[in-house]
Amino acid sequence: MRPDTVVTWKWKSAPGYRSTFGPETVNTLKRMVKRHYAHPHRFVCVTDDAAGIDADVEIVPDAKDFASLPSPTGGHNPSCYRRLRMYAPEAGRVFGSERFVSLDLDIVMTGDLDPVWNRPEDFVIWGETNPRSFYNGSMFMLTAGARPQLWADFNPRTSPTLAKRAGRFGSDQGWISYKLGKGEATWTREDGVYSFRVHLEPKNGGEDLPANARVVHFHGKCDPWHWRAQRLAWVREHWGAAA
């Protein structure tokens, strides 16, 4: 079942954080999705600062849930607990859709997204990046109301510690991995979904784009607009042309 809404999030990074996300990153992601996803869809950005974002991007105000809650793995790592609102029972009303996919801004789309997003499961999330977590929150797709326990059972005072003590890495993705355990439907390299840092950069600095690649995630210190990425022809072709 295809999503008819694509959601991304933009908030102001904490002082000293490794990346800064301006309106151009939202606009570029929107254009890449439009280029590679033919199914009719809305593009939504959850933010409290819409300045510079293209007019055809729908804005959902950021409720800033748990915005000040740091990642239990340290301030140098992102804190994305606010995304847990997507699992709330009323998520369909908040985001205006019954089926949506959530994307990080530091992604490069390189191929047709329909085979990736046309899935029957009520919840699919990217996996295969960190042995300490089963899932990565950079991309997930769900039918509104699926996995409501991720929202209902989250306690900002205890849940991050529980996930960390269990060996799960990250903020929201650590909690998701802890709460759901293994066995959820995932995207992997077989689906054309890759990590630049884990799968591509160790081989020739990432110069070779796999033939089946459709989505490349730049989670970590190297963003698509970083010089280490921009020196690569395939990044300039797919991200640079959309910028």
pTM exceeding 0.85: yes
Q: Supply the pLDDT for residue 162.
A: 97
Any domain includes 243: no
Q: Which residues of 35-57 are buried (b: 16+ CB within 10 A; e: fewer)?
A: ebbeeebbbbbbbeebeebeeeb
The tally of domains found in the chain comes to 1
| Model pLDDT, residue 20 | 80
The confidence score (pLDDT) of residue 16 equals 61
Q: Are strands 123-126 and 136-143 parallel, antiparallel or unpaired?
A: antiparallel
**Is residue 212 assigned to a domain?**
no
Residue 226 lies in a domain: no
The CATH number of residue 64's host domain is 3.90.550.10
Residue 238 lies in a domain: no
**Structural domain contains residue 19:** yes
Q: What pLDDT was estimated at residue 15?
A: 63
HSE-up (13 A, CA, CB side) for residue 240? 12
10-residue stretch averages of pLDDT, the chain, 243 residues long: 97 72 95 97 97 98 94 84 96 94 97 98 94 93 98 98 96 97 97 96 94 95 93 94 76
Asked whether the beta carbons of 175 and 160 are under 8 A apart, the reply is yes
pLDDT at 13: 74
Q: Is residue 208 part of a domain?
A: no
Burial 215-243 (b: 16+ CB within 10 A, else e): bbbbbbebbbbeebbeebebbeebbbebe
